[in-house]
Structure 1
Amino acid sequence: MTILVTGATGRVGRHVVDQLVKRGAAVRVLTRDAAKTSFPAGVEVAQGDLLDIDALRAAFTGIRTLFLLNAVTGDEFTQALIALNIARESGVDRVVYLSVFAADRAVNVPHFAVKFGAERMIEQMGFNATILRPSYFIDNEQMIKDVILNHGVYPMPIGDKGIAMVDARDIAEVAAIELIRRDQAQGDLPVETINLVGPDTLTGSDVAAIWSDVLGRPISYGGDDPSGFEQSMATFMPKWTAYEMCLMAERYVSDGMIPEEGDVQRLIGILGRPLHSYRDFASALASSVGSRSI
């Protein structure tokens, strides 16, 4: 059967599409503007978004398995609820949902609470589902790279508990594997939750030390003050988004994002290879911009 991918143009979704195509799956994507998007040959494109009921009904026609990714927006929960209702109405019974690490605990953070609510809806509605709970994305560091490279400071307030940052490529490959496993299953499979983490649990000081080593010059950690980080983020993003990031950073500082026993080995077993590391990312970024000469 054809697998429907939402969020197909983002950091995770585009890799999910590539991984599904690589594995021979039939893929349909839902996108707002098909004219501005390029997908691998053979991928079917449905135009619309998660608040467009007619477009959703058309996109879900002939679909059994769904990859549901909701962007962090003010109406994220509405998007999730509508998508799941239309999915069930259309006969979709297999779902891989991209949630977030510790969604059931960090419920004061808006998008964590939203994703936990969607998890509960998926279970209550009886979907055969895999819930993917990724930790902090390594790829998020793209938005602070200039501060690291040009000012010698790692500014993300992630604290000293430790965060097992995960690469978007690892998230996407696990998602594709689970989508195909669900799609090809002859009967119902139990709901499963998979923590998506990186191979190393790193503190703010650990990350600064990696950058110092990779760049060959001192990089300092900016400290654990989420409020200062909020003020900085608010200069280039909506204030509500910056505030949400502050709340999330407070959780990094107070709790970290620490894998449960067996999480890393479980992912290595699913992927059949090592996980991408933070050092891999830092080294690649430094090499791409010629950072040693900065």
Structure 2
Amino acid sequence: MTILVTGATGRIGRHLVQQLVSRGASVRALVRDPSKADLPAGVEIVKGDMLDIDSLRAAFTGMRTLFLLNAVSGDEFTQALIVLNIAREQGIESVVYLSVIHADRFVNVPHFAVKFGGERMLTQMGFGATILRPAYFIDNELMIKDVVLNHGVYPMPIGSKGIAMVDARDIAEVAAFELMRRDQAPGKLPIETINLVGPDTLTGASAAAIWSEVVGRPIVYGGDNPSGFEQNFATFMPKWMAYEMRLMAERFVSDGMVPDAGDAERLTKLLGRPLHSYREFASAIAAAA
């Protein structure tokens, strides 16, 4: 069967499509602008939008398995509601859904609450599903690398409780494994939840220490107060989104984003290799500077 991938041109989607193609899967990618897709040869590219009912119906026709990724947006929950309803209508049985770790706990953060709503829909609507709950993406740090390198400050207010940052490549590979497993199963498999984490749980101070080591000069942690973080993000993203990022940072500080016992070991066993580390990421950025 062909696997339908949403978000196919994004940070996770590009890696996922490549993983699926390398495993011999037939892939259909739902994209807004096919002229900019730049996906591997053999991938069926269909134009569509998560609020365009006709395009969704056309894209989902003949599909059994769906990878669902809803990007953070003002209408994210509406998109999830529509996509899952159309998916069920068109006969899709299995979904791999990109949620977020602690979606059931950080309910004051809008996109966490949305993801938890999506999880509940999968259960209530009778899908077979793997719910992937990634922690903070390592490559989010691309947004702050210039501050680190040019000003000697690690500015993300991630606190002292610990954040289990995860690499997009690891997320995509687990997603590919689960999509293939479900698509090749003789029947609908039960719902399963997998936390996606990195090998290390980092604090603001330990992240700054890693940067200090890889760049060879002192990098200081900018502190736990998210006010400046919100103000800076509001210069290049909508203010509602910057505020949402502040709410998330406040939960980083108050709660952390700590994995459950055995999460990293489970992923290492599933992938058959070590997880990509934050130090690996920071070293590559420093080497390219």
In which range does the TM-score fall when normalised by the shorter chain? over 0.9
Q: Counterpart in 2 of 1:91?
A: 91
Is 2:171 the partner of 1:171? yes
Distance 2:177 2:120 in 1: 23
- SS for the counterpart of 1:12 is helix
Q: CA deviation at 1:101?
A: 0.7
Q: Which amino acid aligns with 2:217?
A: R
Structure 1 runs of 4+ off > 4 angstroms?
none
Q: Counterpart in 2 of 1:7?
A: 7
Q: Counterpart in 1 of 2:213?
A: 213
Q: Counterpart in 1 of 2:46?
A: 46
Q: Which amino acid aligns with 1:214?
A: V
Matches within 5 A, 1:192-207: 192-207=192-207
Matches within 5 A, 1:9-158: 9-158=9-158
Q: Deviation digits for residues 37-74 of structure 1, max 9, x if unmatched?
A: 11111000010111110000000011000000000000
Q: CA deviation at 1:215?
A: 0.2
Q: Deviation digits for residues 177-204 of structure 1, max 9, x if unmatched?
A: 0000000011221100000000000100
Unaligned 5+ runs, structure 2 = none
Distance 1:227 1:106 in 2: 19
- SS for the counterpart of 2:64 is strand
Q: Which amino acid aligns with 1:261?
A: A
Q: Counterpart in 1 of 2:269?
A: 269
Q: Which amino acid aligns with 1:49?
A: D
Unaligned 5+ runs, structure 1 = 290-294
Distance 2:269 2:13 in 1: 22
Distance 1:43 1:236 in 2: 33
Distance 2:34 2:12 in 1: 18
Distance 1:237 1:87 in 2: 31
- SS for the counterpart of 2:107 is coil
- SS for the counterpart of 1:63 is coil
Q: Which amino acid aligns with 1:198?
A: G
Q: Which amino acid aligns with 2:101?
A: F
Kept after mapping to 1: 8 A contact 2:30/2:48:
yes
Q: Counterpart in 2 of 1:222?
A: 222
Kept after mapping to 1: 8 A contact 2:94/2:129:
yes
Q: Counterpart in 2 of 1:250?
A: 250
Distance 1:264 1:145 in 2: 26
Q: Counterpart in 1 of 2:279?
A: 279
Distance 2:268 2:51 in 1: 36
- SS for the counterpart of 2:285 is helix
Q: CA deviation at 1:259?
A: 0.7
Give TM-score scaled by structure 2 length.
Answer: 0.99
Kept after mapping to 1: 8 A contact 2:165/2:200:
yes
Q: How many residues align?
A: 289
Distance 2:216 2:227 in 1: 30
Distance 2:127 2:48 in 1: 23
Give the fraction of aligned pairs with identical amino acids, expressed as a percent. 78
Distance 1:37 1:193 in 2: 30
Q: Which amino acid aligns with 2:22?
A: K
Q: CA deviation at 1:36?
A: 1.5
Q: CA deviation at 1:127?
A: 0.3
- SS for the counterpart of 2:11 is coil
Q: Which amino acid aligns with 1:175?
A: A
Kept after mapping to 1: 8 A contact 2:93/2:188:
no
